[in-house]
Structure 1
């Protein structure tokens, strides 16, 4: 269950970053899209840290444990 929770948060943050990239491609940048980017990056960093700490496996890299 912990693995699902942290992976789900990472997926949501990827969705927010993807929405920013889509807005950037369409040329319709606004405060909302920049806020989505900032929130997405913060969520991604927290979820990668939490996944590694609470699940015990590296999400991006092999864990030494």
Structure 2
């Protein structure tokens, strides 16, 4: 289980640096601070779905362990 989490975190870090074509075009025409702000915004928006899925899995695992006892 721990190995799977580590692999997913490594893959997520590579995906987190990706940008769509429109975002890349906007960044290339702007300055560095604009690019950093855009990347920060993308990462900020990406965090919430992962948090929701993590919380869901936590409650599923907690419920399964509770039912075993």
TM interval, shorter chain, is: 0.3 to 0.5
Higher relative contact order (CA 8 A, sep 6+): 1
Larger Rg: 2
TM-score if structure 1 supplies the norm length?
0.40
